[in-house]
Structure 1
Amino acid sequence: MIKEIKTIDNFNFENQTALIRVDFNVPVNKFYRITDDTRIQYSIPTIQKILSEKGKIVIISHFGRPKGIPLKTHSLKFLVNYLSKKLKITVNFFGDCIGETVIKKVNKLKNGEILLLENLRFYKEEEKEDENFAFELSKLGNIYVNDAFSVAHRFHTSITVLPKFFGKKNVLVFLKREIQYLDQFLYGKGKRPITILLGGSKISSKIEIIENLINFADYILIGGGMSYPFIKIKGGKIGDSLIEKDEKIEKTLKKIFHKYQNKIEIIHLPIDVVAADSFKNEANTKTIPIHSIPNGWMGLDIGPRTIKKFCEIIEKSKTILWNGPMGVFEFQNFSLGTRFIAKTIANSTEKGAFSLIGGGDSLASLRMENCDKKISYLSTGGGAMLDSLKNKMLPGIKAII
């Protein structure tokens, strides 16, 4: 079924108006200068392809969480100059995304011209799978192009409802690229050894991934806040380390340990941690075994023995996936583990390994070490990537099948 989905190469866009759903929800500083343009970079080839065929382009996206309220701080207007320079063409902007005036602007577009519309989330209907809102958006083009993998897991109007109004004129740009790379982990198609690194604070979003990938991975390395529930059910003392409070998590982890007894050696937990007496960069610290964190102390980074162990595994791996930091890396004093992991994956990639990294924090740590360009593939969709690794059909794909 997925093979039947049309890609951008199946269409000639001459004299056509392409309504492109992108994800230009990019991080910006207080001056609205873009600090990471990865998501935009991935959409540039799509835009250029349509322009080269003398098509017309209408771009729709969300930015931030204005919750249905038009806010100047959440306008997409700041993108105009950047996109114009990047594409070497004037990008027009209009401060709305539906209505008669918008339709008139679209109808005035000439072949090879671009119109960027205002934030979809200025309408609360965008996040409610609203048929009427989708119908109004559908008037803005005759080919729908979804080039927003990072929001393909969302049940939002422009992702799941809008494609229904375009029949066979639906295009998924990201599908082939993302599926091709994720399959290396989902079905063990990558070169071995295959290593999965999972970090961050929320284990609830990644338990299914562990269950799904334990059959294909050679190593599953777990760090960050994710590791403490594991240590706790094994009888370790985690002090005041932050963990998700959910009774189901403990039961599910016990079930994993019982169900996969013969494969449990695949899962590698930290040996030691850098513990702190408070949640701040200037806290007092000590490096101790992870299973004996005293009350009043919390683990905020993996320790040197764990760094050495994890890096040795990464160095001998041929296929590597990473999502989530190894500690509170935004605090300089607790960023060492995450930074070492980032550098080691980059070095292994330069030596021939395939690496796929997703999630905002993981990508940020790569940029901190100036090694984001050394990774095989950076996935712009943290949540979408996680849902894919659970072997779930993403809503944005299902809507087009």
Structure 2
Amino acid sequence: MASDMPKLAPGATRKRNVFDVIEALQKQSAKTILVRVDFNVPMNSDGKITDDSRIRGALPTIKAVVNAKCNAVLVSHMGRPKLVQKAADDEETRQQRHELSLKPVADHLAKLLDQEVLFGDDCLHAQSTIRELPAEGGGVCLLENLRFYKEEEKNGEDFRKTLASYADGYVNDAFGTSHRAHASVAGVPALLPKEVCGIGCLVASELAYLDFKNASSDEQIAAIIGGSKVSTKLPVIEGLLKNVQTLVLQGGLAFTFLKAQGIKIGDSLVEDSMIDTAKDLLKQADSMGKTIILPVDAVCSQSFPKGPMDKADTKTFELNTDAGIDDGWMGLDIGPKSVKIIADGLAKATKIVVNGPAGVFEVPPFDEGTRGLVDAIESLTKNGTVSVVGGGDSVAALEAFGKTEAVSYVSTGGGATLELLAGDILPGVAAIADYD
């Protein structure tokens, strides 16, 4: 059964998965699997789902359970319902409960699966709903928003015991929350036998593409990291230096490294408190024989744009110790020379991971650097390079450029992606006993 899982990247270590869990339960004549999914989807004011990609991402795991004639009890969170957790009964709280209910998700999932999806409106008293699932298996039910209960985020003992009591086995297919040690993520699998706990198809794919600890020595891995601050991406940069051969630093954080090299950056974003750290990281990379690529030119403006800007109002500066950005100008994108140098630096990579755009891609003409890199990565992907894009801004850039199909894989995680890139073991994966 395990052969039905997504193909793993070279060197990736296999973990116990949904098919292993199904096989173990069938030997026990057991049928019910609690599946942690991530249905935290955006909705409009009319309660209509505006992007169902996270729901669709869980379909392979749900269908695997249903097709094996097991019942799937799905649990998820939606938003941050702090008012509901206080158990007040005022109008504002009732409105939040309505807005963050998973009932519309259950209805939408039923259409995608073309079968009935039962809805349990109380995670603490869901037994009656679960008993309605077919005795022969193949049924699906979705319980109400886990975060309506403060015990979920606190990994409360009674709450996790209640969730565990609803099923014979457990599967985690919520990669986006796997970095949280919550009751439904880390608490439930700790209460069930290890042979009936595993990861779903989505989590398996994420680990295969993003977990570098067991990468083959033949792999040439390159990472492109953007973002505004070095301080927020520091663990990622430090972790990646251990596992990649080439590290591209771009976006706002690149200017801290450029200033650390004595290059003038004008009024560009900089963290002066991180200058020494940047110097240390550059020395560390050099001593490890790793290549760090920084921008060599920047497209600049004299003010942060509130909307599209005429290209004539921008200026491109060379970034070296003999030049640099003039005072009164700020770098908002990488220039064409940087795009070429980065593309050339990626040419020999067997895998490329991107987290963070090159500039303010939302505002033309400062989208050209990110667009140029996406085109370069698309070309490399067509020639066999494995390309992975993660992080909200990077994924948004792909969507804005109509290029979501141009890369090998688009990660669904935010914080989970960053922690995995940093080399951390995610609580939601560590809870599955076979993880190493």
Match of residue 178 from structure 1: 206
Q: Which amino acid aligns with 1:237?
A: K
Q: How does 1:59-208 map to 2 (within 5 A)?
A: 59-67=74-82, 69=84, 71=96, 72-99=98-125, 102-110=126-134, 111-168=137-194, 169-173=196-200, 174=202, 176-183=204-211, 185-186=212-213, 189=216, 193-208=220-235
1:8 aligns with 2:14: no
Could you tell me which of 250, 263, 268 is aligned with 1:223?
250
CA positional deviation for 1:182: 2.9
Q: Tell me the secondary structure at the aligned position of residue 181 of structure 1.
A: helix
Match of residue 309 from structure 1: 341
Could you tell me which of 261, 284, 291 is aligned with 1:259?
284
1:343 aligns with 2:382: no
Q: Tell me the secondary structure at the aligned position of residue 231 of structure 2.
A: coil
Match of residue 302 from structure 2: 277
Q: Report if aligned partners of 1:212, 1:390 keep a CA contact under 8 Å in 2.
A: yes
Q: Tell me the secondary structure at the aligned position of residue 181 of structure 2.
A: coil
1:39 aligns with 2:54: yes
Could you tell me which of 239, 262, 265 is aligned with 1:238?
265
Q: Tell me the secondary structure at the aligned position of residue 18 of structure 1.
A: strand
- Measure the CA separation in 2 of the matches of 1:143 and 1:19: 6
Q: Report if aligned partners of 2:155, 2:182 keep a CA contact under 8 Å in 1.
A: yes
Change (3 A) 1:124 1:56: same
Root-mean-square deviation (Å): 2.7
Q: Report if aligned partners of 1:188, 1:194 keep a CA contact under 8 Å in 2.
A: no
- Measure the CA separation in 2 of the matches of 1:119 and 1:74: 7
Change (3 A) 1:175 1:92: closer
Q: Which amino acid aligns with 1:121?
A: R
Q: Tell me the secondary structure at the aligned position of residue 214 of structure 1.
A: helix
Deviations along 1:313-341, one digit per CA (max 9) or x if unpaired, are 33453321111111122234322222222
- Measure the CA separation in 1 of the matches of 2:293 and 2:38: 35
1:376 aligns with 2:408: yes
- Measure the CA separation in 2 of the matches of 1:43 and 1:91: 14
Percent identical residues: 40
- Measure the CA separation in 1 of the matches of 2:297 and 2:160: 52
- Taking structure 2 as the reference length, the TM-score comes to 0.82
Q: Which amino acid aligns with 1:311?
A: A
Q: Report if aligned partners of 1:359, 1:379 keep a CA contact under 8 Å in 2.
A: yes
- Measure the CA separation in 2 of the matches of 1:148 and 1:114: 17
CA positional deviation for 1:266: 0.7
Match of residue 362 from structure 1: 394
CA positional deviation for 1:4: 8.8
Could you tell me which of 207, 210, 214 is aligned with 2:241?
214
Q: Which amino acid aligns with 1:159?
A: V
CA positional deviation for 1:20: 0.8
CA positional deviation for 1:33: 4.7
- Which moves more between the two structures, 50-59 or 133-142? 133-142
Aligned length: 395
- Which moves more between the two structures, 70-79 or 81-90? 70-79
Q: Tell me the secondary structure at the aligned position of residue 320 of structure 1.
A: strand
- Measure the CA separation in 2 of the matches of 1:204 and 1:122: 33
Deviations along 1:280-325, one digit per CA (max 9) or x if unpaired, are 2246532223463344432222122212222333345332111111
- Measure the CA separation in 1 of the matches of 2:252 and 2:296: 14
Which runs of no fewer than 5 residues in structure 2 stay unpaired?
1-11, 85-92
- Measure the CA separation in 1 of the matches of 2:361 and 2:267: 18
- Taking structure 1 as the reference length, the TM-score comes to 0.88
Q: Which amino acid aligns with 1:232?
A: K
- Measure the CA separation in 1 of the matches of 2:140 and 2:156: 26
CA positional deviation for 1:28: 4.2
CA positional deviation for 1:59: 1.0
Deviations along 1:91-147, one digit per CA (max 9) or x if unpaired, are 222333222xx2211122212221112211122222222222212222322211111
Could you tell me which of 411, 425, 430 is aligned with 1:398?
430
Match of residue 328 from structure 1: 360
Q: Report if aligned partners of 1:20, 1:59 keep a CA contact under 8 Å in 2.
A: yes
Which runs of no fewer than 5 residues in structure 1 stay unpaired?
none
- Measure the CA separation in 2 of the matches of 1:109 and 1:79: 18
Change (3 A) 1:150 1:261: same
